């Protein structure tokens, strides 16, 4: 075995992910000087001890100190910024605030693991808010289970109605999040049931205990709340946001939580969406609802994250004028400028629902007078559910680099409310079900910190930290994951058409017409002549007109719409020729065959690493590849057969289509 077994040393809290003991191993026996005070600095001191270093007062191999206290180091660093310098075998880390000191330490571990040649540099996050949202249920939901959209076992927080007695996994998890710069966590599902609503009242002790675990790692705790809590908990007969008694109820609730948890972050709200209650029940709008909550938490520096995922989920598929993609823009852009400063409108990256390919939501650039947060999905709801190896770093990098107005300003620079994402961990021994899905959690943290980072470089970091210095293993895992997002796109829904997943299997596996006649409203309109949704201004739903230029014109025209989005914006004949030169129907055939071939190559590459990784890890990934190959074949055969039968156009190459 080329890589030492110690690199994969198991820990009681589960697989160490990208922080195995070997990462800090070469620091054992060396000395460190740590200057500063507070709970985060105490955590930093514990990290130094964990690495086997000895703390001394002077002449140390490693110095971690506040900005302005070390000669030749920059002064005036931001609260989470740090400066890192390695010179002559001595490392200096200076920080603007305690979080920066902790982030600087973990940066140094990356530096050691990756053999970085960096001599000296200052590092500061682009976004103040870098959040993970857990969709964990305190009580097991009868349909969604302990974790909604969870593909890695049960909740690390809750166990069928109560807080887990053993919270060692939460301690380990907080450390992992801090190592990639996450500083906010929401600890329960946005779909808040009656049991979960009590986290704000008689079960506030649960929130208090979890906040105490995250606090030493520089992470503030947030809570998803039920907008109708005053009514749902039986304390009032209304939840009207303009009713004084309701306002007082929330003011008292906020005061109670901040008294017990002074660094509490605030509330996350899903309202008037998919059956969740909201201000519409009282003839009020979303600004009325959000501002009522925002004013309750404002005295405590609290925030309200208000999700923009609002649409009619009782649509009539016969009505070609209704378009779910339009819904968020139509709902929120008219309210721009009416939200209080401590309201953050949390917007999914696309107008539909975390699809493998969809355009950027026009709501984000459209809300010019509102703080907006970009919402991503680390958990692989529509990208293989952590059964498939799909590295999402390249997708997120494309999203973050998108220029909404074509003036050089990226989407990452446009959002002023930070970045949030749905987490993907659970009680599974490997945390993420598929061990290779750990790369997505790592990449999310790194890109939330610095959206300009190359996703390939991030992947190399994760591989080096997680698997060690075995060059063959590094190259193989890089080859497996590097283009895996596009591979998944190849064998699933084509050219931006979206969905085509099975509703009965909760969005796993193919079902071309699964949503075609559904009240949820996601359609492809395939017929004998063509496929795609006409969202143009001239002849369709007008969605393309929600964009500013140059995108409105580019999406409107078949001459300029990108190939990968052509079916999102246009209904075209199967013989329509793409910019690539292929017809739509031949592109569908070719990519679905090629996608399966690529999965088979990935599986072979992993099999060849059997003697280089622990047997339990190798077996888990091998089993996942068995399922991914089966699923990819099913996708290929169902999609190709469906469109062959619709179009009557044969595959030019003559491959088997059923």
Indicate which residues carry an active-site annotation: 274, 353, 381
d(CA 79, CA 591): 48
- Residue with tokens 């950027």, as numbered in its chain: 360
Please provide residue 641's backbone torsions phi and psi, each rounded to the nearest 5 degrees: -65, -45
Residue 564 has a CB neighbour count (10 Å cut-off) of: 17
Residue 161 has a CB neighbour count (10 Å cut-off) of: 11
Angle between helices 584-607 and 484-491 (to 10 degrees): 130
Which whole-number Å values give the CA distances from 242 to 286, 310, 376, 464, 643, in the listed order?
12, 21, 32, 55, 52
Is the torsion defined by CA of 110, 173, 38, 60 positive or negative? negative
Query: Kind and range of the H or E element at 597?
Result: helix 584-607
Give the distance between the most distant pair of CA atoms in the chain: 79
Identify whether the C-beta of residue 177 lies closer than 8 Å to the C-beta of residue 132. Answer: yes
For 234, the token pair is 């039986």
Query: Kind and range of the H or E element at 346?
Result: strand 343-348
Q: How many helices (H) and strands (E) does the chain have?
A: 20, 18
86-92's contacts with Cβ under 8 Å and 24+ in sequence apart are 86/111, 86/118, 86/119, 86/120, 87/119, 87/120, 89/61, 90/60, 90/61, 90/62, 90/63, 91/61, 91/62, 91/63, 92/62, 92/63, 92/65
Identify whether the C-beta of residue 450 lies closer than 8 Å to the C-beta of residue 443. Answer: no
Which whole-number Å values give the CA distances from 308 to 268, 291, 350, 364, 379, in the listed order?
11, 15, 11, 10, 19
């Amino acid at each position: 075995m080329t890589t030492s077994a110690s690199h994969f040393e198991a820990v009681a809290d589960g697989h160490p992910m990208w922080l195995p003991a070997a990462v800090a191993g070469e620091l054992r026996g060396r000395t460190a000087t740590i200057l500063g005070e507070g709970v985060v600095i105490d955590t930093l001191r514990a990290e130094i001890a964990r690495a086997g270093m000895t703390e001394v007062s002077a002449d140390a191999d490693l110095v971690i100190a506040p900005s302005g206290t070390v000669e030749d180091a920059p002064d005036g660093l931001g609260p989470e910024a740090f400066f890192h310098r390695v010179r002559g075998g001595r490392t200096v880390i200076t920080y603007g605030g305690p979080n920066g000191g902790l982030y600087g330490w973990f940066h140094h571990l990356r530096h050691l693991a990756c053999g970085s040649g960096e001599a000296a540099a200052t590092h500061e996050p682009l976004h103040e808010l870098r959040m993970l949202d857990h969709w964990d249920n305190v009580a097991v939901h009868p349909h969604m289970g302990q974790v909604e959209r969870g593909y890695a076992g049960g909740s690390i927080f809750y166990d069928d109605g109560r807080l887990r007695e053993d919270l060692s996994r939460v301690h380990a998890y907080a450390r992992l999040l801090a190592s990639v710069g996450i500083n906010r966590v929401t600890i329960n599902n946005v779909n808040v049931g009656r049991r979960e609503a009590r986290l704000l009242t008689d079960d506030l002790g649960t929130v208090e205990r979890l906040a105490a675990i995250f606090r030493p790692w520089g992470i503030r705790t947030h809570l998803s709340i039920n907008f109708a809590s005053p009514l749902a908990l039986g304390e009032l007969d209304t939840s009207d946001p303009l009713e004084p008694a309701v306002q007082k109820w929330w003011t008292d609730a906020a005061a109670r939580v901040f008294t017990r948890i002074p660094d509490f972050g605030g509330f996350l709200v899903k309202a008037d969406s998919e059956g969740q209650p909201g201000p519409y029940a009282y003839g009020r709008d979303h600004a009325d609802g959000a501002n009522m909550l925002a004013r309750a938490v404002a005295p405590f520096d609290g925030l309200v994250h208000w999700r923009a995922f609002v649409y009619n989920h009782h649509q009539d598929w016969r009505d070609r004028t209704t378009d779910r993609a339009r819904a968020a823009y139509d709902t929120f852009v008219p309210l721009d400028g009416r939200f209080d400063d401590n309201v953050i409108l949390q917007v999914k990256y696309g107008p539909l629902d975390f699809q493998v390919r969809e355009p950027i939501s026009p709501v984000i650039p459209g809300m010019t007078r509102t703080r907006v947060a970009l919402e991503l999905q680390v958990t692989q709801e529509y990208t293989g559910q952590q059964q498939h190896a799909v590295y999402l770093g390249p997708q997120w990098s494309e999203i973050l680099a998108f220029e909404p107005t074509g003036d050089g300003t990226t989407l990452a620079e446009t959002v002023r409310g930070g970045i949030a994402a749905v987490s993907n961990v659970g009680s599974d021994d490997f945390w993420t079900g598929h061990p290779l899905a750990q790369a997505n959690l790592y990449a999310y943290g790194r890109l939330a910190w610095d959206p300009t980072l190359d996703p390939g470089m991030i992947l190399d970091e994760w591989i080096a930290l997680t698997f060690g210095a075995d060059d063959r293993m590094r190259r193989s895992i890089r080859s497996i994951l590097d283009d895996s997002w596009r591979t998944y796109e190849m064998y699933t829904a084509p050219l931006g058409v979206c969905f085509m997943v099975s509703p009965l299997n909760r969005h796993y596996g193919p079902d071309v017409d699964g949503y075609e006649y559904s009240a949820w409203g996601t359609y492809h309109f395939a017929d004998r002549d063509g496929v795609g949704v006409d969202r143009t201004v001239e002849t369709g739903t007008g969605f393309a007109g929600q964009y500013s230029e140059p995108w409105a014109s580019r999406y409107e025209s078949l001459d300029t719409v990108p190939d990968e989005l052509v079916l999102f914006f246009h209904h075209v004949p199967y013989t329509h020729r793409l910019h690539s030169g292929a017809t739509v129907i031949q592109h569908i055939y070719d990519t679905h065959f090629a996608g399966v071939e690529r999965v088979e190559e990935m599986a072979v590459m992993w099999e060849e690493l059997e003697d280089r990784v622990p047997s339990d890890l190798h077996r888990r990934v091998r089993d996942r590849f068995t399922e991914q190959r089966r699923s990819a074949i099913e996708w290929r055969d169902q999609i190709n057969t469906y469109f062959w039968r619709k179009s009557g156009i044969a595959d030019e190459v003559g491959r088997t289509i059923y």
